[in-house]
Structure 1
Amino acid sequence: MREPNVVGDWQEYDEHAGLRVRVHGVEKAEPPRGRDDAAEELTYFRFRVTVENRTSERFGIHLEDGQIDIRVGDDGESAFLDWRNSQFIEGFDIYPLRRATSVLYAACPDGRLSRVDIQIQLKVDEEWTERYLWAGGIASVELPVDAGDRSDAARDSLACQVSNFLRKEAGS
Structure 2
Amino acid sequence: MQIILLILRLLGFLIPEKKKFYIDDKWTIELPNNWERIFSEIEVDNSIVSENIFFSLNNDLSMRVYSLNILKDDNYKKIEADISDILAVFENIMSKVENKKEYKIPNHKSSKIKCYEYSYYENDKKIYAIATGIFMKGYLLRINIVSTIKKEVEKSLYYLFSIKEVDPKEIEFLKKINSYKE
TM-score by length of 1: 0.37
Higher strand share: 2
Higher helix share: 2
